[in-house]
Amino acid sequence: MQDIRWRAFWLILSLTLICLIIWEVQGAELALLTFAVSITLYLFHHLYWLDKLIGWYKKPDLISMPIATGAWEDIFATIYHEQRRHNLSKVQLSAALERFRHAASALPDGVILLDDNNKIEWCNKPAEQQLGLLLKQDINKPIVYLVRNAEFIKYLEHHVDIEPIKLKSWIRLDITLEIQLVAFGSSQKLLICRDVSNQEKLEHMRRDFIANVSHELRTPLTVVGGFLETLSDMEGAVPENLRNYFEMMQEQTSRMRLLIEDLLALSQLESGATSPEETDLDVYALLNNILNESKSLSKGCHNITLDADQSLALIASNQELHSAFGNLVSNAVRYTPNGGTIAMKWEEQNQEAIFSVTDTGLGIEQHHLDRLTERFYRVDRSRSRGTGGTGLGLSIVKHIINRHQGRLEVTSEFGKGSTFKAVFPKSRIIHKQITMLQ
């Protein structure tokens, strides 16, 4: 550009000098005429090349680029280089895109690119097969026009970057798909579908195995337990020096029975085969029952209190919440030394219904808290066994609360005590009218 400016400057300066010389030699008229004609020619020259440039730019290809002279040579040369660079990066970009498409097509998982209106921008072959799409004809169509599955549509509307969902494939009923929506770019989304049928089958087999084994063990254990009890009750049947052993055998069989009952309960909850039988549950009445049960478990060794909002009810399963709340309270009793306090609370806070159990017991170290609800996870094996625990209580509690769209929160201070909270969403809350008895 600097060059072009200098060239124009020197040209006009030379022309002016020539015109001044003509003025001196031939007079002013000829000088002005020369100046005007030269400037007009100069202008036409530029207009000519400008027109050429515009003409070329409408179809910019390197072969047909005009070959100019003078200042325009520089301009065309610069454009030529830029165009070449642009073409080169276009080729590289297309190659990279092609490579990406090949890689994405080779993925065993289905991948679909959606724009901000959930229209399909691109998808790979597995996605076509899993969701019954055909990219050629479905491109730019809203995915909800093509996948008419209520659960899928709901997930698509509300959830980006959260837990994936599992759905039965609507193309092949023996296939289970795991679907996850991930946000990317400014407003686009990536829908990833994975065939998890094998994992599901394995999980199913595992659950069935546990349920069957537990079921099969239940009958012989009941028989053994029954005979032990009968023999213990029969006068003279058990020699006095063996009575201790008999008591231990009875204790262990009843522990095993509890374990089997918990395993059966857990596998039933995990299978999700039956949804909870939900009613307008009078939580206040339920908690009063649990208070009585916990008092008999504690045998008067703890100070147990209940502070419950009588008007706060819940849409929930009576049997399941009895088991979950009962478990939390029995844990508090079992892990609180004699003389300790256990406070139960049922209240509404920030439009959520909360049941909390606070104890002044042994407490749990922070690093255990995340793992408490794992099956058979125990903070201290000997401590738990001594209290007659099965190691499945909190797993059951968590499953039940999750089935009610709630969450379990645990806070604890080692040596001071713990608080277990079951928090339920607003959608499950019912406010009851309280009629005062005279």
Instruction: Count the neighbouring beta carbons within 10 Å of the beta carbon of residue 369.
Output: 15
Q: Which is nearer to ligand ADP, 271 or 387 (CB)?
A: 387
**CA Rg value for the chain:** 41
Q: Which is nearer to ligand ADP, 308 or 392 (CB)?
A: 392
Least distance to ligand ADP from the beta carbon of 107, Å? 40
Q: Tell me which residue has tokens 């009750």.
A: 233
Least distance to ligand ADP from the beta carbon of 320, Å? 16
Q: Which is nearer to ligand ADP, 332 or 422 (CB)?
A: 332
Least distance to ligand ADP from the beta carbon of 434, Å? 31
Least distance to ligand ADP from the beta carbon of 113, Å? 44
Q: Cα–Cα distance between 247 and 61 in angstroms, integer?
A: 97
Q: Cα–Cα distance between 191 and 280 in angstroms, integer?
A: 38
Least distance to ligand ADP from the beta carbon of 103, Å? 45
The DSSP call for residue 119 is: B
**Cα 10–14–15 angle (5° rounding)?**
120
Q: Which is nearer to ligand ADP, 73 or 251 (CB)?
A: 251
Q: Which is nearer to ligand ADP, 129 or 341 (CB)?
A: 341
Q: Which is nearer to ligand ADP, 45 or 378 (CB)?
A: 378
Helix axes 28-58, 2-26, angle to 10 degrees: 150
Q: Cα–Cα distance between 89 and 353 in angstroms, integer?
A: 60
Residue type present at position 120: I
Q: Which is nearer to ligand ADP, 113 or 342 (CB)?
A: 342
Q: Which is nearer to ligand ADP, 152 or 335 (CB)?
A: 335
Least distance to ligand ADP from the beta carbon of 127, Å? 41
Least distance to ligand ADP from the beta carbon of 380, Å? 6
Among candidate residues 349, 334, 362, 340, the one with its CA nearest the CA of residue 409: 349
Least distance to ligand ADP from the beta carbon of 171, Å? 41
Which strands form 110-114's sheet, in the order they lie side by side?
Answer: 120-123, 110-114, 188-195, 176-184, 165-168
Is beta strand 341-349 parallel, antiparallel or unpaired with respect to 303-308? parallel
Strand partners, 24: none
| Burial profile 385-410: b = 16 or more Cβ within 10 angstroms, e = fewer | eeeebbbbbbbbbbbbbebbebebeb
Residues that bind ligand ADP (CB under 6 A): 331-332, 335, 359, 361-362, 364, 372, 377-380, 383-384, 389-394, 418
Q: Cα–Cα distance between 409 and 346 in angstroms, integer?
A: 15
